[in-house]
Structure 1
Amino acid sequence: MSVIASQGVSRSRWLQVGWAFMLLGAMLAAANALLFMNVDGYGHPGIKSRFLATEVAGWMHTLGGAIAVMLGPWQFLSRV
């Protein structure tokens, strides 16, 4: 295998690893948002009270954000 070809494989592998870390970060951010809305005592009480004061809007914001965060990494795949 030539040096150029092996560098391409190495670069491709690093791109895959980077994408996997980005997806993991997105999953953790989405999970954090869902935990915030579902678990008592999780998150700042002042912010949580505002979210729960208008529960439908709070859930729309939380779920919309979680979906958007989970879709984010997919925009960097050239095959998609």
Structure 2
Amino acid sequence: MTAMPISADARRNDQGAGREDVQQGKVKTPREIVDMIKPKMRGMQYLTFEYFPSTLVYRLKFLDGERVRFVDVDARTGRIIEVK
């Protein structure tokens, strides 16, 4: 199985879904999540995030030296699910 690139339309839909989920109070804002998680990722530089509306997960990206680390976070609670 090969990975399919995400189209610009799909990304736009995820952003719209994220905005809607925040407005409806289903999830925390990206800023709230980043502010909660950044202090826990000592020595790493925060890069950006993605939102996955189907699972209500934010994936934060950090630079750890030369390696990119992905931190999956429950968008409702801010709990770290997994660090990759």
**Normalised by the size of structure 2, how large is the TM-score?**
0.27
Structure with the higher fraction of residues in strand conformation: 2
Structure with the higher fraction of residues in helix conformation: 1
**Normalised by the size of structure 1, how large is the TM-score?**
0.28
Does 1 or 2 have the higher relative contact order (CA < 8 Å, sep 6+)?
1
